[in-house]
Amino acid sequence: MDWIKKVARVAALMAVPMVVLACSISYKFNGSSINYDKVKTISITDFPMKSDYVYAPLATKFNEDLKDIFVRQTRLQLLKPSQNADLQIDGTITGYNQYNQAVSASGYSSETKVTITVSVNFVNNSNHAEDFTNKQFSAFRTYDSSQLLTAVQDDLIAQMTKEITDQIFNATVANW
């Protein structure tokens, strides 16, 4: 009987690695669902400012952040917009606005809302069913009206561009 127990233990020990290897689970922590067999390159054109109110550093920050998210979170090679990439993103910054959000008891504005809106065109040359045109993405932040916009603007823009670039990433390659 001892030899049967020994054989059973050896068989069980040999079966464990086979079961572990056969049952593999794949996780993607960046949320992307890219088929790298079909899609290898991406081109992102610089988004120009087409809003009534223009703050030049906004376009630069947005364009850098948009390219950066795809480079950091995918294995896609970033090509120049003139080259024919598998994925193509272009668009414009259509809005950069501020509005009075709340009024204090004294009748003056107590809170101001800043909004950025972006219009995006996306082409997936390996699956045109995923293409979209003029899709709007936006983000907003509020700040105390006792502060000047110039004092909080860069921090607010950094937060909003991160949110919008995450939205664009999710809409183009994450397929949420």
- pLDDT single digits (tens) 66-112: 999 999 999 999 999 888 999 999 999 999 999 888 777 777 778 99
Q: What 3-state class would DSSP assign to 84? A: coil
Q: What backbone torsions phi and psi does residue 115 show, to the nearest 5 degrees?
A: -125, 140
pLDDT, residue 34, reads: 86
**How sure is the predictor about 32, in pLDDT bands with cuts at 50, 70 and 90?**
low
pLDDT > 80? residue 9: no
pLDDT, residue 110, reads: 85
pLDDT, residue 24, reads: 40
More confident residue, 27 or 172: 172
Amino acid at 140: F
More confident residue, 45 or 7: 45
Amino acid at 50: K
Let me know: does 85 contact 40? Beta carbons within 8 Å. no
**Tokens (6 digits) for 56:** 């030049």
Full-model pTM: 0.79
Instruction: Give the pLDDT confidence of 121-137 residue by residue, as tens digits.
Output: 999 999 999 999 999 99
More confident residue, 8 or 44: 44
pLDDT, residue 175, reads: 67
More confident residue, 75 or 18: 75
Residue among 92, 82, 88, 90 nearest 124 (CA): 88
pLDDT, residue 68, reads: 97
pLDDT > 50? residue 29: no
Q: What backbone torsions phi and psi does residue 35 show, to the nearest 5 degrees?
A: -90, 100
Report residue 168 CA to chain centroid gap.
5
Q: What residue ranges define each of the domains in the chain, with the CATH number in brackets?
A: 2-174 (3.30.160.150)
pLDDT, residue 35, reads: 87
